[in-house]
Structure 1
Amino acid sequence: MEDISRFVCCALDHIGYDREIIEIRRNCWRELSRMVNETISHNTGIHLTIAGSKAEGITSYRESDIDFMFLLNDVICTDSVQPFLQLPGMTILQTDMRNTSPGYTKLKMVSFNRKISHSDIEESLFAENSGEIFASSALFSSYIYLLCRTLNDYRIVNDASISGPATTTSHANANDSDFVGALHCICPNVLHSFRTRLRKFDWPPLDIIQDDYSAFCQLVPVGYKGSCDQWKEWRFCFIQTELRLTCSLNNTQIKLYIVLKMISKTILKCVSDEISSYIMKNITFWMSELFGSHIFREENFIALMLVALRLLKVSIDNKCLPYYMIPGRNLLAERLEPNTKHRLSVLISQLLDEGPRLLLRCPKLRAGMTLLYRSPDGLDNRRNQMKTEIFIFQRSISFVREILNCVTVGLI
């Protein structure tokens, strides 16, 4: 089993998942964010964050969607409004977590700067019977959707649809893109459990747990599925903190995450789309905390993968997977119909019975193992992979910037 584990890890290196290539990707997307923000942030009051697998460096340019998050710099959401009331030109929204599920909040308007606030905030406001003004996540995301639809006029976007908090756009000659409008939020107590729970081992690193920056999070426009107030609610997310957690994973941990994503997209997707890459990332985070990084070595890779699948099966059987950052939020709540849950459980049991052979069901990994078998050194292939990554990225920067400029013009 140990030899097979090392072979699989080496095959992943051959097909573009070694540490060096991952770092190149991370640096490229970080540089793109920097260049775009230098152009748009001062003039538009909007800050761009690239999120998801691109920012994590675990997918090539053509491999998956690009996740863009636009944050409105003149809007602050917080549970303690008093320190921010004196800031000039700011729109202040107060979080209201009464009668909401863990990880969600409503937003009550405290101070609205009508002169410079963005249209999407103004369009999302509504009055309760009490006369208090709140911001609706559904109205906010609908505004972003309509904005993305206007990109048809530029012949950049072929189609757009709302998926959770994101507007997904398709393009003729490039990746699909997910655009998420989001709001800055400062709520230190939201991560109380993450910061204070007892941990037996050395992951996550202490500097991430104790970093005051983790008090800064984002609110994205999507409510709790099944809530009667879903259209009013917003969800907490922690883009920067989760990215730091992913970047702190060692080589074996990150490869476990990558293979779990492959299993989700190529095997489990045949039964359900609900077992997302994000769920697989949370499985990886929990395992990393519960086992400690010293367990995550190449020779243990197959055993770790099978443990991860068992954890996933237990989560599906119980319809419960706690969100790593806010364990009170259940990532599987309201997701799996009884028939789908049963079929997923049966499929994962079959995968566990197959053991290492299940990896042959993942086409890209199977190709990588074949390549490694035929060319054991593989160094030339890795170098070519890096050159191709950089070339494609450089060719694509101008197109991505064109899309972003069009979107941000509409957001002003």
Structure 2
Amino acid sequence: MLKKELYAVRYILSYSSVQMADGGVIRDVPGGIPRQGNVSCSPTVFQFEQLSAETCILMNVLGYGPHIRQARIDAYKAWDRHMTARAGGGATWITTGSKAEGLTNYQESDLDSMSVTNHAICLEEGVDSSIVPGEKNIFRSCSRISYHGHCRLLLERYGTVIPTMVYNALCDDGYGSGLLSSDLYVNQLLNARHESCVGHERAGPSAPVTINGFEHQDRVGALHFYCPSILTRWAARHRNWPTSDVVQEVVSLGAFVSPVGVKGSDYEPVEWRMCFNTGENVLVNNLHDTQVKLYVLLKMVKNDVLKPCKKEVTSFIVKNIVLWIAENNPQSLFNERSLFHWLHEGLYALRVAIDTKELPYYMIPERNLMAACALEHEQKLSWIATIDEMMTEGPRLILRLPKIRQAIIAHPEPLRWYSERKIELEMLQLICMNRLTLGMDFETDVIMQALLRRRFEILMEVGMRMIMEGSRVNDLWDVWISMLM
């Protein structure tokens, strides 16, 4: 089956260089996010339907299908439960980013995790603090002089247990009241890293570490944030997606504040950013399969074509574009045959965001995600020109993406053979990760021993085939690392 699809992809790409049609798209939504009009008004809207469907099949083989994504999501949810249990009730661990979304291999990107203290809570202005149990420390958000989506945290009440990180991050607001400093909070996390970890410089709210020499993690300390009015406004929006059940689930998961302020703000060292990590995980996990693949392709464009050096465009920006597209358009328009149409629309929205330096945050639209990006004029013009070229190339634009291009030019059978073993090796590693978190030992745990045996078999099989095809393989460790990328 894959052989037929790959040959069809190659054939169509060798002839297609037609600009993709707008076909009834209405762009009256802030930030240039497309809202589909009457599809039937243009017969060429989904002119590359066959290639879209075949590209979806190819992306499934590469590890972006729904089953492998769900397996990754379940594995990291289990890891969160184990880490939370190890914290003894003091903190809740939450995996965020691409790992929680099931969209990257084990070593393909950093593991983003958030440790949320359970002994403190931040309340939105106007919320009655008597609803909070007496043992918790209460902070009141003050956002009147902060940029949208940010706030300062004023101490309102001490609890029976004051976490050391919270106590050491308190400072005076100049009026005799306690103020929680985001800078001091992150600095403590930087200084508290274990001896087995190699620490790196602060990155926004996170304290990056490298474990065992090859596992990279971005760790963020955060607080629970009770903000019913913000979530109510979000839930009340008119939308095509998500369903009301998913909306209520997102609302029930609440919010957090992470220790990072607005760059250049007078209050940056004491500002905190409102975030909705668990709710956003639910939203991404409820996207249509075509929307997920759109998200993956746009991230590839960001990483492999634009190649930002200073996070001028981030995966978070790309995710928000996809969430807006999903909300603004009927879900019936998303299917495996419309992928390239929506990729064109996603590129257009990205172009507008870069050109205008405006993109509303999906959860708090008043916050502009492009406001603080360090995008220079020449770079902006270059990226706009590149995106314009891609939008005129039609489906051929995917040849700019190395991972897709290599799969297209590969022979189908070796590709499928290797992908199956790559995915199995990743699943073994995720099981191993959770067994280690539970405290299991390689030498005594029979499941770990079985995992190691099967891992060795896969690596030997791949290594021998590489040698037969002319590669020089001296170390199975190198094969293991490359297969998990």
Answer whether TM exceeds 0.5 for this pair. yes
| 2:401 alignment partner in structure 1 | 362
Alignment length (residue pairs) = 390
Q: 1:360: how far off?
A: 1.6
DSSP-derived class of the 1:88 partner? coil
The answer to whether 1:133 aligns with 2:178 is yes
| 2:97 alignment partner in structure 1 | 52
CA distance in structure 1 between the aligned counterparts of 2:388 and 2:256, rounded to whole angstroms: 37
Query: Any conservation in 2 of the 1:271–1:344 contact (CA below 8 Å)?
Result: no
Q: 1:383: how far off?
A: 4.1
| 1:204 alignment partner in structure 2 | 242
Deviation string for 1:105-134 (max 9, x for gaps)?
Answer: 111001123x63211111111112221211
The answer to whether 1:101 aligns with 2:141 is no
DSSP-derived class of the 2:406 partner? helix
Q: Could you tell me which amino acid in structure 2 is paired with residue 168 of structure 1?
A: P
Q: 1:172: how far off?
A: 4.5
Q: 1:259: how far off?
A: 1.0
CA distance in structure 2 between the aligned counterparts of 1:215 and 1:29, rounded to whole angstroms: 17
Q: 1:165: how far off?
A: 1.0
| 2:209 alignment partner in structure 1 | 169
| 1:226 alignment partner in structure 2 | 264
Query: Any conservation in 2 of the 1:267–1:362 contact (CA below 8 Å)?
Result: yes
Rate the CA distance shift 1:304–1:85 in 2: closer, same or farther, 3 A: closer
Greater shift in the superposed pair: 361-370 or 265-274? 265-274
Rate the CA distance shift 1:172–1:36 in 2: closer, same or farther, 3 A: closer
- Structure 2 unaligned blocks of 5 or more: 1-47, 440-485
Query: Any conservation in 2 of the 1:96–1:107 contact (CA below 8 Å)?
Result: yes
Question: TM-score, length-normalised on structure 1?
Answer: 0.89
- The alignment's C-alpha RMSD in Å is 2.2
Query: Any conservation in 1 of the 2:260–2:269 contact (CA below 8 Å)?
Result: yes
DSSP-derived class of the 1:179 partner? strand
Query: Any conservation in 1 of the 2:250–2:282 contact (CA below 8 Å)?
Result: no
- Structure 1 unaligned blocks of 5 or more: 403-412
| 1:235 alignment partner in structure 2 | 273
Greater shift in the superposed pair: 331-340 or 312-321? 331-340
CA distance in structure 2 between the aligned counterparts of 1:283 and 1:205, rounded to whole angstroms: 19
Deviation string for 1:170-197 (max 9, x for gaps)?
Answer: 2353321000000011011123432122
Deviation string for 1:84-120 (max 9, x for gaps)?
Answer: 476232111011111111111111001123x632111
DSSP-derived class of the 1:324 partner? coil
CA distance in structure 2 between the aligned counterparts of 1:92 and 1:324, rounded to whole angstroms: 27
Q: Could you tell me which amino acid in structure 2 is paired with residue 101 of structure 1?
A: Y
CA distance in structure 2 between the aligned counterparts of 1:86 and 1:26, rounded to whole angstroms: 32
Greater shift in the superposed pair: 261-270 or 14-23? 261-270
Query: Any conservation in 1 of the 2:255–2:275 contact (CA below 8 Å)?
Result: yes
Rate the CA distance shift 1:178–1:212 in 2: closer, same or farther, 3 A: closer
Query: Any conservation in 1 of the 2:82–2:437 contact (CA below 8 Å)?
Result: no
Give the one of 337, 346, 357 matched to 1:319: 357
| 2:230 alignment partner in structure 1 | 190
| 1:410 alignment partner in structure 2 | none
Q: 1:241: how far off?
A: 0.9
The answer to whether 1:384 aligns with 2:431 is no
Deviation string for 1:199-223 (max 9, x for gaps)?
Answer: 2x2x111112234744621000011
Question: TM-score, length-normalised on structure 2?
Answer: 0.76
CA distance in structure 1 between the aligned counterparts of 2:438 and 2:98, rounded to whole angstroms: 19
Query: Any conservation in 1 of the 2:235–2:251 contact (CA below 8 Å)?
Result: no
Q: Could you tell me which amino acid in structure 2 is paired with residue 175 of structure 1?
A: E
Identity of aligned residues (%): 31
Rate the CA distance shift 1:141–1:86 in 2: closer, same or farther, 3 A: closer
